[in-house]
Structure 1
């Protein structure tokens, strides 16, 4: 075991599978402690003579459960790798675990297969634990652990198949909507809303079930249901936001976020600017340096303040705003490539010139790109 010195989930690297590290996060210690305290009374009831050792057995159940979670995550990762995706890490956390991939599933079928194998692995483990319990004595600590393993794996497997993000069933629903509509992001939004319904349903179940049975509401159960519901709600909301943002991202082009531009040489006057803008039906005018590089753009407010009788003798340089060297992007870029290019260039300038085939076609402002992504 060694400290993780890599970006990603903070914790300890306890092994590697398919080239990806298995990370035991610090939050797992909290989860293991809570599970130990919850399961200890059950161990004591099954073996009253065990005394303080009940906590050791209960901790063994926590380790057993997280081992099942690890198998769940490994199933995701190995299927993803078999379908051509790269696995970056497996992490065990307070909420169970997660597997991180570089990039997204290329097809709905891959997305659905990667999602479904995790719950299936738990259901297979549940069957194996149950068969093991049936094969041995019906009482005792071993039987207790085997039955607990069967029940917990069965619950994890079935609960994860509920159709709502961030659960695996939500990934399957997202893949189904993607397959039907041809739009991955519609699938994310639909499965995210389903996940919100599931989150509310978890809390309603914790409150309504005891009331319907004439029992008092258990505060401990309600608190846990609220925590799980909050986790599911946040994950579902993140999926909805990501779906909408990524849809906007894919549709992003220079034409959609930029302002049409034309160009004039550096020796031009404002009268030349007016003619060039009118002929090209452009919104912006870029000033070219002697070597043909976009060197500046016209400050429209400053240009508008120059009286008509002075425009023919006013040099364009008098109303110019400098465009730093290199503040240029390819006008044919779109989507994530366009955002990356603009983001890189706007470290030195909030405005960039879009150029295609050596000709300036538009002015792009970083603020307009951000607004388009948020809209």
Structure 2
């Protein structure tokens, strides 16, 4: 709940809470994320656990409770303290890993590098855990405890898997950050609603130019789709309004020319029409990026990474 409320307080949408065997987790969509906001949302979860555990400890020191109330209080105290401490371990996908990610992000300016750092921190933590268990068993008088072994697997294996997934995601995200918006940008033209399909072809809709138009009621923005233009028989193109070959583009994303590739990809994903307008520092539209061009660039980078 703390994560969800913190996420909503900084404008992140889609916050939802899923209850699981381990208690639960919160998911949300990071809108306009920054290192500071990510750090804030990550910290509140374990902080609330530690505050609940601390307050419970004070209550236990004051007027001791016995029976079921005492049992419930002690369970709440120790479980919250355990979860709070566990979650601040520096390993993705734990909150401590998010803290590492935010700090490296702040230092480097790259969220992807922060994700990679959090993933490596998780792998190192698992390695230290394995070494600690080995030393404990070697020095102990008894052999390995089956209960301890099962507990170690239950705890360390998910951390290793989460850290590995974070590394893979971070490397892909780093590759996306390096996508050059200017290199992918196409010219953009705004044409009157009465323009014909033939007119859109003359402007360059089939040559990569992004053609935009208002609907006849001038209430919604449309993007003229090349495949829809090609579907119009050649003999009918001069008499067919260009709006017949358009799709709603009111949801078109907007990025600045200086944005990184990660921001571009997020804008493309969130746009149903797959249209992202590129603006300069003065807010003037200077071009557009099409989803198909971004996908081709991503696939090319993924192929390069897989060949290394």
Q: TM-score range by the shorter chain?
A: 0.5 to 0.7
Q: TM-score, normalised by structure 1?
A: 0.52
Residue matched to 1:111: 38
What SS does the corresponding residue of 2:142 show, helix, strand or coil? coil
| Helix, strand or coil at the partner of 1:198 | helix
SS of residue paired to 1:176 = helix
Q: Deviations over 1:100-136 (max 9, x none)?
A: 1112562211111111111111111112222232334
- Residue 88 of structure 2, aligned match among 139, 146, 161: 161
Give the counterpart of 2:111 among 170, 181, 184. Answer: 184
1:86 and 2:13 correspond: yes
Contact (CA 8 Å) 1:136, 1:143: kept in 2 or not?
no
Task: Indicate the RMSD between aligned Cα atoms, in angstroms.
Answer: 4.1
The whole-number CA distance in structure 1 between the counterparts of 2:205 and 2:92 is 47
TM-score, normalised via structure 2 length: 0.62
Matched, 1:193 2:120: yes
Cα deviations by residue, 1:1-35 (Å, 9 ceiling, x for unpaired): xxxxxxxxxxxxxxxxxxxxxxxxxxxxxxxxxxx
Q: Residue 138 of structure 1: CA displacement?
A: 6.8
Relative to structure 1, the CA distance from residue 121 to residue 210 in structure 2 (aligned partners, 3 Å threshold; closer, same or farther) is farther
Matched residue, 2:25: 98
Gaps of 5+ in 2: 187-199, 209-225, 231-256, 275-284
2:151 alignment partner in structure 1: 224
What pairs with 1:191-270 in structure 2 (closer than 5 Å)? 191-253=118-180
Secondary structure at the residue paired with 1:115? helix
How far apart are 1:183 and its partner, in Å?
1.4
Rg larger in structure: 1
**Superimposed CA distance per residue, residues 268-324 of structure 1 (whole angstroms, 9 cap, x where no aligned partner):** xxxxxxxxxxxxxxxxxxxxx974546599xxxxxxxxxxxxxxxxxxxxxxxxx84
Where structure 1 has 5 or more consecutive residues not aligned to the other structure, the ranges are 1-73, 261-288, 298-322, 346-355
Q: 1:295 to 1:253 in 2, by over 3 A?
A: same
The answer on whether the counterparts of 2:176 and 2:298 sit within 8 Å (CA) in structure 1 is no
Instruction: Quote the Cα distance in structure 1 between the aligned partners of 2:266 and 2:41.
Output: 27
* Match status 1:336 vs 2:272: no
Contact 1:192 1:239 in 2 (8 A): yes
1:139 deviation in Å?
5.5
In the alignment, the residues of structure 2 paired with residue 326 and residue 342 of structure 1 have an alpha-carbon distance, to the nearest angstrom, of 21
Cross-structure match for 1:147: 74
Give distance in 2, aligned partners of 1:120 and 1:147: 19
Q: How many residues align?
A: 237
Higher relative contact order (CA 8 A, sep 6+): 2
- Relative to structure 1, the CA distance from residue 190 to residue 291 in structure 2 (aligned partners, 3 Å threshold; closer, same or farther) is same
Shift of 1:156: 0.9
CA 1:141/1:208 → structure 2, altered by over 3 Å: closer, same or farther?
farther
